[in-house]
Structure 1
Amino acid sequence: MAAPMELFCWSGGWGLPSVDLDSLAVLTYARFTGAPLKVHKISNPWRSPSGTLPALRTSHGEVISAPHKIITHLRKEKYNADYDLSARQGADTLAFMSLLEEKLLPVLIHTFWIDAKNYVEVTRKWYAEAMPFPLNFFLPGRMQRQHIERLQLLCGEHRPENEEELEKELYQDARECLTLLSQRLGSQKFFFGDAPASLDAFVFSHLVLLLQVKLPSGKLQAHLRGLHNLCAYCTHILSLYFPWDGAEVLPPRQTPLGPETEEEPYRRRTQVLSVLVGLAAMLGYALLSGIVSIQRATPARTPGPGALSMAEEEEEE
């Protein structure tokens, strides 16, 4: 019997099944098609077989990391949400996918990773609390730099040099994109009628992050919340396809009250190793900087009652 397909994705938070846009898109598509996946929701990308999230390990052991490649593989495995679409609807899917990437994705990156207030109070806060030590000290900053580079690629050579002009242009394009999506959806349940397609998975993942997260600087949220059909659309998908984990919030470094899960032994080993690495680093720094020095005790000297052994001295330092 072939091994089950395994999906590794970012954990949930902010009332969502995952905090990551790409992970949300793949998770939603899998739910739409009923693909039998063993899902690992984690907050340490180094535990992924590819070192990135999301990632899919196929039944044959192959590892796929790009979201569109994961969805392509699911289609090859006969889990195709676009099976009943017409050629016209297929063309519309490509057009709207391009619209999302050009007009809405840049603003999402700016909102969560560039806007200083949102990044410090929401984005970095979640990742720093969710990630294990010592990754939480440097990985959120590295992720921010990667998103800045991605935004630069999306904007391309037409990017205004003035940051205020860039921000104004990005948000204007995003508002127009949201309005167009609202008009296209109309009163339908999904973009192509009563059944969801791959376009719905991507639109939902883009919109629900913006809709659900409480942002101190939510410049686009007010416009989205004024488009009631898009809000109802997100709420409908969240309640229908994620009824038990739509409100999932990752409790960082919290001891479970029930029996130990299969992830718990790994988590405990990771915590112990992290603490040991941290202690070793501090001890090495102390020795190199001269805060702690090792001296050979002379045989003639007898330690007094208040003297410390070397081990005790190192512990205190």
Structure 2
Amino acid sequence: MASATTAAAEWEAAARRTLVARKPGFGLPTACPTCLPVLLYLRMSQVPFDIHVDSRFPDADHIPYVEFGECVAFNNENGGVIEYLREEKIVDLTSKHPSVSYSDVLPTKAMISTWLADALQYELWVANDGAHWSIARDIYFSDLPWPIGKVLYWKKIREVKQLLDITKLNAAEKEEEIYRKATAAYDALSTKLGDQSFLFDDSPTDVDALLLGHVLFVLNALPATSMLRSYLQNYDNLVKLAEDIKVQLVGVDSSAAGSASSDPPSSSTPRKTASSGQSYKPKPKAKKERTEEEKKFRRRTKYFLAAQLISVLVFLSIMGGVDSSELDDDYELEYED
């Protein structure tokens, strides 16, 4: 990993800065609840950047990541993209608040990163015996064949249950605990926000990016039947803040349907003209004639994928249509990463 000085110099000298995220959806520029706070953080920082959608690794934990010069900041390293940019003194919104120390911000950040993050994970993968499969599919697995996507979904359910320490014996108690903590977090954050524009005075910090990413995802992606969404909607100032930010930074009116607009509306915050943060598709490359070796490699790749698909179908036939709710901690099934 480059030193702070080297990384900061790379950032300043980089001709392009690219946020690699998952694709848009639910009226948001990225449907991924992990990618959205990073995008908001960069927008709040008025940083010019491109967005590139990566669908090759549907459940990879290194996404989102930011590329600049010879450096890459991955989500699964150094505390995540936002933390890396802050620690390397590349982009640090909190430092713009002379009266606010990071020790003041840390407890609020921890509450969002634990209690609210756990509640969102629970809603997305576990709640109502996986009733939100269609949402998870749209975010992570829609570009995969259905059987492979379904198996990866079941695998993720097991991982989240293990992460949250949920078993058949304690499922009801854990659900109550998760929602109790989420409600307490919403209450504390709503009180902290009050009538301010952001959590700390009238300009954003990295905590605001985390909170707004969470709130926007819950309000726009989760269905009306979601318990987490119903709890959140009890706090008018949190909802209003998210709606205002969606118009100013995300570029989509909360009443509009569909994907994010390619022309973000103007706001009171000046934007750098070099910003192209609305580009979601890589530029098409000119076609070139494939060599015989490349053709052979592609044929082998197709055979490999076909073999993988057949193995998944065999696996599903053996499973005999097991419901995802049965994939609990006591189900002895091993998956390969």
Q: TM-score scaled to structure 1, two decimals?
A: 0.70
Q: Which residue among 37, 40, 43 is the counterpart of 2:55?
A: 43
Question: Post-superposition shift, 1:188?
Answer: 1.0
Compared with structure 1, are the counterparts of its residues 199 and 214 closer, same or farther at alpha carbon in structure 2 (3 Å cutoff)?
Answer: closer
Equivalent-residue separation in structure 2 for 1:204 and 1:192 (angstroms): 14
The Cα of 1:32 is off from its aligned counterpart by 0.8
Q: Deviations over 1:131-169 (max 9, x none)?
A: 4788635433333333333333xx8xxx99511011011
- Cα-to-partner distance string for 1:157-194 (whole Å, 9 max, x where unaligned): xx995110110111111111111111110111111222
The separation in 2 between residues aligned to 1:134 and 1:56, in whole angstroms, is 31
Structure 1 36/229 Cα, relative in aligned 2: closer, same or farther at 3 Å? same
3-state SS, counterpart of residue 53 of structure 2: strand
1:60 pairs with 2:37: no
* Deviation for aligned residue 1:261: 6.1
Q: Does 1:71 align with 2:82?
A: yes
Q: Give the direction of change, closer, same or farther, for the CA distance of 1:132–1:30 in structure 2 (3 Å limit).
A: farther
SS in 2 for 1:21: coil
Provide the secondary structure at the position in 1 that maps to 2:35. helix
Give the 3 Å change call, closer, same or farther, for CA 264–14 of structure 1 in structure 2. Answer: farther
Instruction: List gaps (5 residues or longer) in structure 1.
Output: 251-259, 286-317
What is the CA distance between 1:119 and its match in structure 2? 2.9
1:92–1:43 Cα change, 3 Å: same
Determine if the alignment matches structure 1 residue 6 to structure 2 residue 22. Answer: no
Q: What residue identity is the alignment partner of 1:142?
A: K
- In structure 2, runs of 5+ residues without a counterpart are 1-12, 261-280, 288-293, 312-337
TM-score, scaled relative to structure 2:
0.66
Aligned to 2:248: 240
Q: Tell which structure's C-alpha radius of gyration is larger.
A: 1
Equivalent in the alignment of 2:203:
195
**Residues 81 and 165 (structure 1 numbering): CA distance in 2 closer, same or farther, change over 3 Å?**
same
3-state SS of the aligned residue for 1:220?
A: helix
State how far apart, in whole Å, the 1-side matches of 2:163 and 2:174 are.
15
Q: Distance in 2 between matches of 1:261 and 1:65?
A: 21
AA matched with 2:47:
A
2:82 aligned partner, one-letter code: I
CA contact (8 A) 1:185 1:191 kept: yes
Alpha carbon RMSD of aligned pairs, Å?
3.8
Percent of aligned pairs sharing the same letter:
23
| Aligned match of 2:326 | none
Q: Out of 194, 206, 220, which is 1:186 matched to?
A: 194
CA contact (8 A) 1:17 1:242 kept: yes
Matches within 5 A, 1:12-161: 12-45=24-57, 52-66=62-76, 68-75=79-86, 76=88, 78-86=90-98, 88-115=100-127, 116-131=129-144, 136=149, 138-152=151-165, 161=169
CA contact (8 A) 1:12 1:248 kept: no
| 1:200–1:160 Cα change, 3 Å | farther
**Preserved contact between residue 45 and residue 52 of structure 1 (Cα < 8 Å):** no
Q: Deviations over 1:240-281 (max 9, x none)?
A: 11115986549xxxxxxxxx9625889xx9xx9799448854
| Structure 1 pair 177–62 and aligned structure 2 pair: CA distance change class (3 A) | closer
Q: Deviations over 1:193-241 (max 9, x none)?
A: 2211111001111222111124264112222112111100111111111
Partner of 2:181: 173
Following the alignment from structure 1 to structure 2, what is the Cα–Cα distance between the partners of residues 278 and 249?
35
Q: Per-residue deviation at 1:15?
A: 1.5
- Structure 1 contact 53–65 (Cα < 8 Å) conserved: yes
Which one scores higher on RCO, CA 8 angstroms, separation ≥ 6? 2
1:188/1:194 contact within 8 Å kept: yes
Q: 1:43·1:131 contact (CA, 8 Å) conserved in 2?
A: no
Matched residues in 2 for 1:219 and 1:275: separation? 44
